[in-house]
Amino acid sequence: MTDIGVAGVAHYLPERWMTAEDIGISSGIPTRVITEKFGLRGKHIAAADEHVSDLAATAGRRLLEELCVDPMAVAAVVYFGSSWKDYPVWQAAPKITESLGCRQAFALELDYVSCGSPVALRVARDLMLAEEDLQNVLLVAGSRESYLIDYANPGSRFTFNFGDGAVAALLVRGGGRNEVLSSHMITDGSFSHHVKVPAGGSVEPSSADSLEGHRHFLTVEDPEGMKDRLDPVTLQHFVRAAEEACKRSDLTLADVDYLCGIHMKRSMHEELVAALGLDAGRAAYLDDTGHMSGVDPLLALDRASRAGTIGDGDIVLLLAAGTGYTWAATLIRWGEIV
């Protein structure tokens, strides 16, 4: 068989949980606004000594053990999580590969921030289709971006829902289940300078002034200007990415049975679900984890599959957007391939 399928998914969430009330106290925003507008009951926070590579390796280890897969049988390990890793100029994939004991695998690093899940599925599927001897690919992602939040900075308000966690998925050739279908991506680079950690790169190297000025946290340059430009296009780009992924898969939006997206404010989530023509109960909403960079859609898929929310033949849409800005969609036909 030439199909590429998802053998399994697993995730890991750190033990500490920061409640909506805690977030409200830290930010000065009423708890009611955090729960109702932000759509957040709470989020998980990594321990001080728990880094992105640790989070991702934990999720990967859980998955390999659950599937009874020998780490030495893994052909490739792909990291697609947060860009903020253990070290500033460094790849997490080789360390994760070694931590898991996947010593026959090559490591690949993808830097697609919040749109990572659908993009990683696309890249891994296409890689396996192009290289016939590649029997499996382990995808891993972690996020620890709660540590990049400056709750005192109004420009960082969009980050207040950022939490920590990790996910892993194993793609296999000819497994006969959970076929990865087609994908689509849309990029608008005119938003590329809006969201960033201002200092620490070559434009503004680290200095005493940058540290004192709190310029090593995520922030938005011109929040109102970004909102004025982004709001009119983001919903249509989400829908277009989904439509084009469906078209490439010989499907339509009417064929989509379940949405696994990223955590966003509740009103935007509801608009998106309606625009896609789905019932509210057929879309994951991660109000107990918040947003975790590239982790969200695959974590939502893991939860839905374990809960029996999706079944054989269901078309699952993984949909995400990453700052920069890129909107991405990938479809999976869940269950047995006929």
Same domain, 118 and 156: yes
Say which residue, 156 or 244, is predicted with more confidence: 244
DSSP state of 283: B
Query: CA–CA separation, 25 vs 23, rounded Å?
Result: 5
- Same domain? For 153 and 84 the reply is yes
- 150 and 205 fall within a common domain: no
Question: If pLDDT is split at 50, 70 and 90, which confidence band does 2 have?
Answer: low
- Residues 171, 254 within the same domain: no
Asked if 167 and 38 sit in the same domain, the reply is: yes
Does 337 have pLDDT greater than 80? Answer: no
- Count helices and strands in the chain by DSSP H and E runs: 9, 13
Give me the phi and psi of 15, to 5 degrees please. -65, -40
Whether 159 and 191 share a structural domain = no
Residues 233, 309, single domain; the answer is: yes
Are residues 219 and 132 both part of a single domain?
Answer: no
Could you give the 3-state DSSP secondary structure of residue 332? strand
What is the structure's pLDDT at 1? 44
* pLDDT cut 70: percent of the chain above it: 99
> DSSP letter string over 44-96?
EE--TT--HHHHHHHHHHHHHHHHT--GGG--EEEE-S-S--SSSS--HHHHH
Each residue of 263-290: pLDDT tens digit? 999 999 999 999 999 999 999 999 999 9
Query: Stretch 230-249: mean pLDDT, rounded?
Result: 96
- Tell how far CA 164 is from the center of its chain: 11
- Check whether residue 165 and residue 208 sit in a common domain: no
Same domain for 129 and 203, yes or no, is no
What is the rounded average pLDDT for all residues in the chain? 96
Which of 176, 209, 241 is a domain's end point? Answer: 176
Output the domain CATH number for residue 14.
3.40.47.10
Q: Which of 145, 176, 207 is the last residue of a domain?
A: 176
Single out the residue of 261, 258, 255, 254 nearest to residue 238, CA to CA. Answer: 261
Domain-ending residue, one of 125, 155, 176: 176
Quick one: 203 and 149 in the same domain? no
Q: 168 with 24, same domain? A: yes
Give how far Cα 195 sits from Cα of 32, 306, 325, 326, Å.
26, 35, 9, 13
Whole-model pTM: value is: 0.96
Task: List, for residues 4-61, the tens digit of each pLDDT value.
Answer: 999 999 999 999 999 999 999 999 999 999 999 999 999 999 999 999 999 999 999 9
pLDDT in tens, 157-167: 989 999 999 99
Whole-angstrom distance, CA of residue 121 vs CA of residue 57 = 18
Boundaries of domain holding 159: 4-176
Mean pLDDT, residues 307-326 taken together: 96
The tally of domains found in the chain comes to 2
Answer whether residue 226 shows pLDDT above 90: no
Model confidence at 156, in pLDDT bands (50, 70, 90)? confident
Kindly tell me if the per-residue pLDDT of 215 is higher than 90: yes
